[in-house]
Structure 1
Amino acid sequence: MRSKNPDRRSTAWSSRARAEARSNRKPSTCISSVRALLMDRRIGIFGLCVVLIQFANAAMLPLVGQVLSQGNDHSAPLYMSACIITAQLVMMPVAAWAGRACTVHGRKWVLMIGFSVLPIRGVLYTLTGDPIALIAIEILDGVGAGIFGVAAVLVVADLTGGTGRFNLTNGAIGTAISLGASLSHVVSGLIVHHLGYDAAFLALSAVASIALGCLWIAMPETSDTRRHGEGRSRAGHR
């Protein structure tokens, strides 16, 4: 009987030690995950692109609503609803296309298409005040939103594959989206107050152009299939 007690005690102590070791590893694992996220240059570049493109995009539709409400207070809600519905109807087929295109052509070039429609959209808003034309321009909003919604998730999945940091990185990108959107409303409101709507649209278009340039110059392709294909083609040329 006495010989069994030490074994039980040693087993209990070893189980307790393993549990304490696991609990002690959790904070260090979280810290190392955050550190790895902050040290990854590709995630930092993509986060910057996301902040810039959301800064350029978030305030455009509310500004269009304000333009439509000038002198048309009763019709403004109808026009705004039409703008939103138009963008949503376009976004669905574009998102389906974007998923296939990202697989074939890579994430970067598909994202560049989505980014490039935003400066065009902002400039077009300054060229007309016709409600029907403004609603038609929202087609570009659907194109950009459909592409970004699909490609951004794929980029995050590429950058975090096998690391267990997908949720953390996706949350960080969501924070970048919120940061860009909140700054967009504040800054565009100040520009409208001092310089007018056209100046605000042009300023947002300029920021969208900067986001496109940052994506083109600094952001690498994240798709393994695409990168390997480019590597094989370069080797063939040599």
Structure 2
Amino acid sequence: MSKPGQQVISRLRQMILSGELASGQRLAEIPTAEQLGVSRTPVRIAFRTLEQEGLLTKLTGRGYIVRQVTQAEISGSIEVRGVLEGLAARQAAENTLSAEQTDELLRLLKQGDSLFEKGHINEQDLAIYHDMNQRFHQIIIEASLNSAIAEALSRNEHLPFASVNALAFDQNNLAKEYRRFNFAHMQHHAVFDAIQNGQGSRAEAIMREHANATHGYAKTFSQMEESGEKIHILNNVSAST
């Protein structure tokens, strides 16, 4: 997907997290495209992606409705992803990375270093990070040589914010977002080091902790519940660039 398409996905997710899009709210392509200042195509793709993620429900006629999602639902799906990706990292360490996998992971880490060295992040950076992050995780899953992990992750990705692609970006707190994504990138360095050195238990622990970075979403919903605010989440918006 194009970078504008990825930005539309991220923006819609953040609108859900912030409460700007309420549960039960109906969404249509044209007004949403006008609101975001984009064409209908990226909005259409975003709606489909968010539906797959369990954030939106397609109406019988035309359009979608924002689905209500609980903090417990998000936490549970993220925890399952952490367990599965932790297992993948451990088995990748036990199997030993191929030369091609090692080279590509090193390239991705270097790309991330360049992305974060300027000390801030924006929506364009997020689109780059999305692709980089997606491929990094995919290589580790492939290196596990365990097809059951990929199949289980595929099923789990239909739950809210369970997918590694389900990134949201708070434009109102760029300093915090920079720290969050930069820390996640440092975890990439750590898990690569563990896998490359055959440290299966360490690799598994780091990868499981890596998934916890997404728990920030769950905490957001928990705070909204405590304050009595409505919780709303959109279903999948395709995030590939």
Tell me the TM-score normalized by structure 2: 0.35
Higher relative contact order (CA 8 A, sep 6+): 2
User: More helix per residue: 1 or 2?
Assistant: 1
Larger CA Rg, structure 1 vs 2: 1
Tell me the TM-score normalized by structure 1: 0.36
